Amino acid sequence: MTGNGQGNGRNDSVGTSYVKVDAWERVTGRAEYAADVRTPNALHAKVLRSPHPHAIIKSIDVSRAEQLSGVKAIITSKDFPSMDELKDSFGGELMVNARDLRRMVLADDKVLFDGHGVAAVAATSLEIAEAALDLITVEYEILPVINSTADALKPDAPLLHPDVYTKTLKETPDKPSNLASYVESGWGDVDKGFAEAAVIVERSFDSMMVHQGYLEPQACTARWDNEVCTVWTSTQGTFNGQRMVSTLLQVPLHQVNFVPTEIGGGFGGKIYTLVEPIAMLLARKAGRPVKFVMDRSEVFRATGPGSPQQSTVKVGARKDGTIVAAQGSLVMDAGAFPGAPVAGASMVTFGPYKMEHFKLEAYDVVTNKPRVQAYRAPGGTPAAFGVEVVMDEIAEKLGMDPLEFRKINAVSEGDPSTNGRPLPKVGLKEVLGQVEGSPHWNAPLEGENRGRGLALGFWNGAVAMSSATINVNVDGTVEVVSGHVDLTGTRTTMTQMAADMLQLPPERVSARVTDTASGTYTDVTGGSRTVYTQSQAIYNACESVLNEMKALAADQLKLNEDDIEYADGAFSAKGNPETTLSWDELAGRSRTRGNGPISGYGTSGRLKGAPAFAAHLADVEVDPDTGKVKILRYTCFQDVGKAINPAMVEGQIQGGAVQGLGWALSEYYHYEDGKLRNPTLLDYRMLTALDLPMIDTEIVEVPADDSPYGARGVGEVPIIPPAAAVESAIYRAVGVRMTQLPMTPERVFWALHDDGSEQ
Amino acid sequence: MQPFDYAAPPTLEEALQILSQASGLVRPIAGGTDLIAQIKERRIAPSLVLNVKEIAEANVLDYDPGQGLRIGAAVSCSDVASYAPVAAHYPSLAQACLLVGSTQIQNRGSVGGNVCNAAPSADTVPPLLTYDAVAVIAGPGGSRRVPLEDFFQGPGKTALQPQELLIEVLLPPPLPNSNSRYLRFIPREEMDIAVAGVGSMVAVDPQTNTCTRARIALASVAPTPIRAKEAERRLEGSPLTEEAIREAGELAASACSPISDIRGSAAYRKELVKVLTRRTLSQSLPR
């Protein structure tokens, strides 16, 4: 396999902040996003959405809309192939059953959330499509609304689905339920552990539905040419998208080509094909291309937000600070169909800690809200919120510094991870050491109503499939071709890594993301794994290229392959550097004198996970008169294994922290009896630049066991600690414990002035 | 967006003539920062949108020590805020103009539009109320003056009749030894709508150090922007002590009738009114 942490290059392409290859297009507005795609003769699509969170569709009458001039096609769920054929389930990051995905796109017999799609129209203009929606008559029979997991789990609760039975490891129940699944993990005997504890803290926590908040709404254009459909779309995974629509529409894979456009943010929310099947069906029915661009309200109401969670966390520690028992229960809201991220949350919860006895229960519950999608470290932020707040409180009760308490209990290589398997090499202790020596930790924090909080985060790192093809042109330049959608700089890191491995200047290498018809297969870009797994694919492709080049050099220099060495763009005879051919000369001869064009293909194969840890420090000031929390200073410490591009690593950490801070302070779905009241960026409050200090980052590099550079995934971990870091800082500032997210000014105010009058 | 007719008359006379002949819903437009969003969101469907930006009278921005301040209905918030006499003589108005929406919104949106939109949360309105502003309205029978306090009749409802246009807002000259402050509370630092807003203006007699006039106006805590008159009366004739200011805050809170909505509960809004009243009063003690 590989020597980790090394790569094989010499030209410093890796580890430097090479300017993003797409920076110019992005900042000048030239980058082409999905809504920018123009196809001659395209129609515009709009979707009629349910105003009711829970209702039976008794009838849909589209006859008047069909007669409107300019309307070219109307579809409902009946235009999809029969659902009986849909037995597939998409695993891994996709976490959705095909039948459910089909019903997420357009409701079948029942609408299950405010904004659930009911019918779709394609017309010659957006205005006509909108007008047509008004002409569609839907007869609903209103059903009682399941607003929360608590509602859903009441014994007499109305059922969302008559065919959902609680999945457990034990026997299947005989009655359907809104509890879709229950998982339990852990080891030892927590009751025994708590009996040995000197200090026990138990608290319950609550959070609300949030949105990933990507700037670019979902958008796509579909065009059929005979039997083949081309779909230009904004997606995190072209091949996964292709497979989903192929299943939903019963079209073979080779008749669907997914073309990725630039993507304006995904964060896990652009994995499911929520717009593509609609555009494809309308385009087929109308016989013309169809473009479907969601508006912001549709993005909030009908894509896949992040799962809210009710948790209870109980931790017991000995006098010396060691954790003897830890127990948690996570009740997670999946929205309208099963599939809350129980696996991710279970893995993250308690991840940084050594525990003698450990038990975690997680519940996947359906409610009348949009079905959740992955959101950056799915399930992790609210789960860690509870755990870290309780850890902070335990440390306080023990009279121990919160950092010291973390150091005593931090996991290291060989300790069991939350899944029970031993951890590979990890850098948590190094991260905590970095905190201890940092300017932020050592700076005094003075002033009234100010406090500092510390919290940790853990993400195991996904390991899905990556691949790349590397072609050498006759002028010696190199092209890296991959199906990996570029979310956070994939083209740039691919360029850097290939340049490093081939010992060429990065300017001589370019990387492209291609469509499913011409690119190499990869799973979705997500899960904090793209650089990690793609580095291995690129390494393998480069190795193949170098072998071909060496063979050609041997042929041209009339030597054995074993006698050729390669360094810095030159193939030379070992021990006789005078006998040499440059990379470019050799490339120039490759198509006429060798075995043909030089090309290498590599996949990532099976890598171990590369777990990542982070610690965040927050300084806040609370206005006790209004409850408003101002973040004064914020630092993220993270083990990234190896920073291939430090500036991009820093940017990704900052972005994650800012999303976590929004979740901590201001972002939430405001539902009133199942109706979403804030589907706008005015009232769904994401933090702005003015609300934040500079987010400082301190990068720690403890290389992962596997992969050429030992680069760990960066993306998810930084969203995990912010809520707890801010809570601990608030507690130290004004002495109240906040147990609900977000910690809005009003909530902090009432926590400080609790006279029982909270409305 | 639904289609509508559009007119941009160059004179007030032509504008009034178009209005007198129009049928259906007419909406004047200056910056359009509220109106366009309302049309796009299909909250209103005007048959005619009438641009007032070409009308000379709507573009006046003038200060005269004897007459006071005239703000034409189409003058942008940015222009009002950066007009030196506003910062010098009506500081809370300049502060409010720089809080509306965002920089881009302030560049387009007008103070007149903020008034006509009649949102309970309009940031420029409390300062205008504390300066006893008057709306100058043109209509088929000539022009009339309405104290701004009587202009607002409910959320989105004003004293304007269908064939009338707001032409300008007049502010009398400020009292000597007076100062003012506007503060609003939002969870973020910008791009938001007031959970509660308070404008205060106080004048004092330098000899006796007593308050000669107090004006306190509140946003986002009633169906319209309102004055807190009992709080004002508590201060007038008294020295502006901490105790007086605290009591004024309590009285201001009892003057309002907020609702609980997505931006905050009624109880929290009342608490915010107390805090913001205290803060604006303390910060508007004459310099």
The letter for the amino acid at A433 is: G
Beta-carbon-side half-sphere exposure of residue A8 (alpha carbons within 13 Å)? 18
Quick one: B36 and B64 in the same domain? Answer: no
- A657 lies in the same domain as A540: no
In this structure, are A505 and A453 located in the same domain?
no
Q: Do B41 and B108 have their domain in common? A: no
- Domain limit, last residue, from B171, B190, B212: B171
So what's the pLDDT on residue A513? 95
Contacts of B182 (CB under 8 A, 6+ apart): B92, B93, B95, B96, B99, B123, B126, B127, B197, B198, B199, B200, B280
Backbone angles phi, psi at A119, to 5 degrees: -155, 160
H-type alpha helices, chain B = 12-21, 35-40, 77-82, 84-89, 91-97, 103-108, 111-117, 125-130, 148-151, 229-235, 242-255, 266-283
The angle formed by the CA atoms of residues A23, A236 and A742, to the nearest 5 degrees, is: 90
| Chain B residues touching residue A685 (CB < 8 angstroms) | 187-188, 192
Per-window interface: A 477-516 vs B, CB < 8 A: none
On whether residue A511 sits in a domain, the answer given is yes
Q: For residue A4, is it within any domain?
A: no
* β partners of residue A137: A61
Say yes or no: A736 and A630 in one domain. yes
**Same structural domain for residues A455 and A480?**
no
Please calculate the CA angle A214-A215-A216 and round it to the nearest 5 degrees: 95
Whether residues A679 and A724 fall in one domain: yes
Rounded to 5 degrees, what are φ and ψ at A400? -115, 145
d(CA A546, CA A537): 14
Q: Check: CB of residue A365 under 8 Å from CB of residue A337.
A: no
B108 and B139 both lie in a single domain: yes
Looking at the domain assignment, is residue A157 inside a domain? no
Which pLDDT belongs to residue A1?
A: 34
Asked whether residue A438 is domain-assigned, the answer is: yes
Is any Cβ of chain B less than 8 angstroms from the Cβ of A754? no
List the single residue in B3, B191, B263 with the smallest CB-CB distance to A688: B191
Contacts of A334 (CB under 8 A, 6+ apart): A180, A307, A340, A364, A365, A366, A367, A371, A372
Structural contact between residues A381 and A723, judged by C-beta atoms closer than 8 angstroms: yes
DSSP state of A133: H
- Based on the structure, what is the number of domains in chain B? 3
Q: What is the DSSP string of A714-757?
A: -SSGGGSSHHHHHHHHHHHHHS----BSS--HHHHHHHHS-SS-
Regarding whether A654 and A572 lie in a shared domain, the answer is no
- Note the pLDDT of residue A172: 77
Residue A427 within any structural domain of the chain: yes
The Cα–Cα gap between A21 and A513 comes to 12
Listed as ranges, residues in chain B with pLDDT below 70 are 287
- DSSP E strands: which ranges in A188-308? 199-206, 219-225, 228-233, 256-260, 290-293
* Same domain assignment for residues B45 and B101: no
How does DSSP classify residue A84? Answer: G
CA-CA-CA-CA dihedral for B179, B184, B189, B191, to nearest 10: -110
Quote the minimal CA–CA distance from B100 to chain A in Å: 13
Length of chain B: 287
For residues A232 and A217, give the distance between their C-alpha atoms in angstroms, rounded to a whole number: 14
Q: Which of B134, B156, B171 is the last residue of a domain?
A: B171
Tell me how many residue pairs between chain A and chain B have CB atoms under 8 A apart: 51
Q: Residue A24's pLDDT is what?
A: 94
A670 and A709 co-located in one domain: yes
CB B130 within 8 A of CB B214: no
| B6: its two tokens | 């559009």
**Which of A176, A194, A223 has its CA nearest to residue A323?**
A194
Q: How many domains does chain A have?
A: 2
CB atoms within 10 A of CB B220: 29
Instruction: Say which CATH number the domain at B79 has.
Output: 3.30.465.10
> Are B200 and B120 found together in one domain?
no
Which SS3 state, helix, strand or coil, does residue A186 take? strand
> Minimal CA–CA distance to B60: which of B28, B38, B40, B83?
B83
- pLDDT reported for residue A577: 87
Look up the domain containing B139 and give its range. 56-171
**Do both B105 and B187 map to the same domain?**
no
Chunked mean pLDDT (size 10), chain A, 759 residues: 46 89 93 96 98 98 98 97 74 75 96 98 96 98 97 96 88 90 95 98 98 97 97 97 95 97 96 97 98 97 96 98 98 97 91 97 98 95 97 98 98 95 97 98 97 97 92 97 94 97 96 94 90 95 97 95 94 92 96 88 92 98 98 98 97 98 98 96 95 98 94 96 98 98 98 68
Same domain, A520 and A563: yes
Q: Which domain range does residue A577 map to?
A: 23-31+464-589
Same domain membership, residue A534 and residue A650: no
- Cβ-Cβ contacts under 8 Å for B39 (sequence gap 6 or more): B1, B2, B4, B45, B46
Cα–Cα distance between B252 and B221 in angstroms, integer? 10
Same-domain status, B215 and B264 = yes
- Residue B74 shares a structural domain with residue B35: no
Judge: B187–A666 Cβ closer than 8 Å, yes or no: yes
Q: Is A688 on the interface with B (CB under 8 A)?
A: yes
CA distance A666 to chain B (A): 7
Residues of B with CB under 8 A from a CB of A: 1-3, 185, 187-193, 260, 262-268, 271-272, 275
| Distance (Å) from the alpha carbon of A155 to chain B's nearest alpha carbon | 31
Are B46 and B62 contained in the same domain? no
> What CATH number did the domain enclosing A440 receive?
3.30.365.10
CATH number at residue B21: 3.30.43.10
- Residue A758 to residue B267, Cβ atoms within 8 A: yes
Order of strands across the sheet with B48-51? B5-7, B48-51, B26-29
CATH number of the domain enclosing B204? 3.30.390.50
Q: Determine the Cα–Cα distance for residues B266 and A88; give it in Å rounded to an integer.
A: 50
Q: Give the nearest chain A residue to B274 (CA atoms).
A: A625
Question: In terms of Cα–Cα distance, which of A652, A86, A670 is closest to A337?
Answer: A86
Query: Are residues A731 and A741 both part of a single domain?
Result: yes
Rounded CA separation B106/B93 (Å): 13
Residue A38 burial class via C-beta count within 10 angstroms: exposed 0-12, middle 13-18, buried 19 and up: exposed
A-chain residues near B102 (CB < 8 A): none
A241: in domain: no
| Residue A499 and residue A511 in one domain | yes
Within this chain, do residues A551 and A621 fall inside the same structural domain, yes or no? no
A419 is written with which tokens? 């899944």
| Residue of B43, B271, B282 to mutate when probing chain A, most A C-beta within 10 A | B271
Residues on chain A touching B192 (C-beta within 8 angstroms): 682, 685
B194 and B87 in a common domain: no
Indicate whether B69 and B166 sit together in one domain.
yes
- B68 and B134 part of one domain: yes
The verdict on residue A546 lying in a domain is yes
Q: Which of B171, B201, B219 is the last residue in one of the domains? A: B171
